[in-house]
A and B are shown apart, each in its own frame.
Chain A
Amino acid sequence: MRLNLKSKQENTYDAIVVGSGISGGWAAKELTEKGLNTLMLERGRQVKHIVDYPTATSDPWEFPRNNRLTPEELKDYEKQNRTGYAIRHSIKHWWVKDTEHPYTEIQRFDWMRGYHVGGRSLMWGRQSYRLSPMDFEANAKDGIAVPWPVSYNEIAPWYDKVERFAGINGKKEGLPQLPDGEFLPPMEMNCVEKDIKKRIEAKFKDRMMTIGRSANLTRAHNGRASCQYRNMCIQGCPFGAYFSTQSSTLPAAMATGNLTLRPDSIVTEILYDPETQKATGVRILDAETMEYKEYYSKVVFLCASAIASAYILLNSTEHFADGMGNASGELGRNIMDHHLNAGAYGTVEGFEDMYYYGRRPNGIYIPRFRNINEKHPDFIRGYGYQGGASRTGWKKNIAEISIGAKMKEEVNEPGPWQFGIMGFGEWLPYHENKMSLTTEVTDKFGQPTVVFDAGAGENEMKMREDIKIAAAEMLEAAGLKNVGTYDDGIALGKGIHEMGTARMGADPKTSVLNKWNQVHEVKNVFVTDGSFMTSAGCQNPSLTYMAFTARAADYAVKELNKGNL
């Protein structure tokens, strides 16, 4: 033992949480509230609520060049810029520089991420939907991958719990494919959306449109203020009105007095004692001092993201040649996402005297309707649509609008209403979709990097065709004009819902985690970020990570108290 006993004692906690995003925040809150002395490790910099949101109250004109980066500036963000919206002066500080954190693509993979306290809880889209009973049953029914070891009924009370704390607005609809939750009051549809909803529901008996369910507060909740309808969430909310680690779980965890947060701490591997067959803690590289340090605990919660948690396990090779927890060979495989960027749009006639006040940080949702009662001939599973109606800016185009004093009047003649929807499609888990590590390319800390070799299958491509066609059909049936479809191309990762790299299952031979998010082979390591997902559903997944994290933390503490860990 290189460390003396005293320093080992100082570096010892009841629990270590790796990562400070949505899952890490929940793990820290639940573990500390249950009395565990917990260390939260975050690889990136400290970001304090409000004071470290540099652009939270910036107005759009404060950013140079219309908020766009120059081609020269974009060279640092070649991959992070693929979403098209992320790399702006207003929010670029939330995304890594690809030049500092490279990865290799055998097939294209859009790995969008930020290294800072709060992780992607600061930049997330906040759409919050439950998976349904049919999602948890799908793999077993279709004979795809492995069955979920957890049923909807088992996770439902945990959805209740996390929704009540996080504050999810939405409308109860009683749909089997999209269970209702413990909602704050719903946001309102604008008049065009209300009209389109009526028309779609009249024409298609199997479809409906509801207001999006989002983690924005529609009234003051748990000491946090109500949404002010700025729709500048990603710049950071000075009102704490959307769920993030900083606004919600971190203050709760800090209030217990049981949390130590250590930023700039890159976890490189999990330490393991072959005698007890348990993890003993983690090794970190201090990003500031470049020194390695070890921290010890009774349980480790990996909440670093689907890719980063799998990375840490794959990199824990001191006692496991293929990585910790990889006896099944499934670690780093079955990567899923939601495929998006395909749908339809159109213009709406009428409502020319109507407008809105405020910017709603939420849209409409058309829940999945495929493969619920009738089987689609071309693909299994389904997709939901997200979208919304808004008025375009001024009516006249660049050719039509006058120059001179008259222009200032003409720009205040608003354009027509437009409506668009985009599909969020389920991606199946394919064993051959994998990530691995390489030491041939290293990051700015000299660490191994990720190699992605994963892509889309036939089911995704056929579903995608239907996403476009069904969208256009609905828009035309709703009376829209100039209806068009679009498909900006399928890309794994672009949904920023990467998941499945350490899937859960009943059989240790075919899965990495058991039904409690425990690594089959190392029972005191829990993985509760997107890694555990056995199938993807088509719903935005963060709410599900919250629920499983809270459930796993509860289980971990009970097992600790029983002396089982």
Chain B
Amino acid sequence: MSDITKNPINRREALKRTALLLGGVVSAPTALGFLNGCSANAKAEGFQLLNEEQAKLVTTVSDIIIPTTDTPGAAEVGVPTYIDDMVMNMWGEEDQEQFLANLNDFTQRAKREIGTAFNDASLEQQTEFVNAEHDRVFSGDVDWDAPRPFIWQMKELTISGYFSTEVGMTQVLQYIQVPGRFDACLPFEEAGGRVWAFNM
């Protein structure tokens, strides 16, 4: 194996270089996206994979998927860095690249739809766009075999991240470390009226 396939950093560098070399061939928005996405090497503070712009977008989208209500939302409980961590450390290189490409695609679509960069839009515009993306993918017949677009990946990651936090498990769902007894059968309301977070 060459260094390029073995080392993710080198591979990313190489892809970036390829994109620049192919600048004339790649369509303008894609090239722009690539530059937006990849040329800013500096990671956002607290993030391992995402740069400032990407982190900001992921934070906003996750917080639209699970917003603050009477309980904290996704951003407040650390879901954005969870997503960054999972994609960086748990996903294979190809899936990682795909996630970034999907993020880029989402950015392009947002710009076309909203007329301004997603990160510069108002929360209202952002929410409207995220909902539209969600409906586009999930309303009607869902294609379970198709490659999963950004909104699908974000929905999954946000849910798995949020409900693996103390807030998600104890304030939204319910969890008790030491139940102290086992009641085999009782009405849902008497069992706390919420779904058990840790249902082994």
CB distance from A143 to the nearest CB of B (A): 43
Assess whether B34 is interfacial by the CB under 8 Å rule: no
Whole-angstrom CA separation of A71 from B142 in the bound complex = 30
CB nearest neighbor in B for A397:
B142
B183 touches A354 (CB 8 A): no
A359 touches B65 (CB 8 A): no
With a cutoff of 8 Å between Cβ atoms, the chain A residues found around residue B184 in the complex are 188-191, 356, 360
A229 touches B181 (CB 8 A): yes
Assess whether A70 is interfacial by the CB under 8 Å rule: yes
Whole-angstrom CA separation of A66 from B159 in the bound complex = 11
Interface size on A, residues (CB 8 A): 50
A405 touches B186 (CB 8 A): no
Whole-angstrom CA separation of A404 from B129 in the bound complex = 13
B172 touches A408 (CB 8 A): yes
Other-chain contact of B185, A72, A191, A408 (Cβ < 8 Å): A191
Interface string of A25-62 (1 = CB under 8 A from B): 00000000000000000000000000000000101110
Whole-angstrom CA separation of A231 from B186 in the bound complex = 19
CB distance from A130 to the nearest CB of B (A): 25
Instruction: Name B145-200 residues within 8 Å CB distance of A.
Output: 152, 155-156, 159-160, 163-166, 168-169, 172-173, 175, 177-188, 190-200
Assess whether A411 is interfacial by the CB under 8 Å rule: yes
Assess whether B69 is interfacial by the CB under 8 Å rule: yes
Assess whether A399 is interfacial by the CB under 8 Å rule: yes
CB distance from A32 to the nearest CB of B (A): 33
Interface size on B, residues (CB 8 A): 55
Instruction: Name B19-70 residues within 8 Å CB distance of A.
Output: 64-67, 69
Assess whether A204 is interfacial by the CB under 8 Å rule: no
A357 touches B186 (CB 8 A): yes
CB nearest neighbor in B for A69:
B90
With a cutoff of 8 Å between Cβ atoms, the chain B residues found around residue A354 in the complex are 185-188
CB distance from A3 to the nearest CB of B (A): 52
With a cutoff of 8 Å between Cβ atoms, the chain B residues found around residue A61 in the complex are 164-166, 168-169
Instruction: Name A72-86 residues within 8 Å CB distance of B.
Output: 72
7 closest cross-chain pairs (CB), A and B: A358-B179, A358-B182, A191-B185, A188-B184, A355-B191, A357-B183, A229-B182
Beyond A187-B182, A357-B182, A399-B142, 12 additional contacts (C-beta under 8 Å) are: A61-B164, A65-B82, A65-B85, A229-B179, A229-B181, A355-B188, A398-B156, A398-B159, A403-B65, A403-B130, A407-B65, A407-B159
A residues contacting B by CB (< 8 A) are 57, 59-61, 64-68, 70-72, 187-191, 194, 227-232, 353-360, 390-394, 398-401, 403-405, 407-408, 411-414
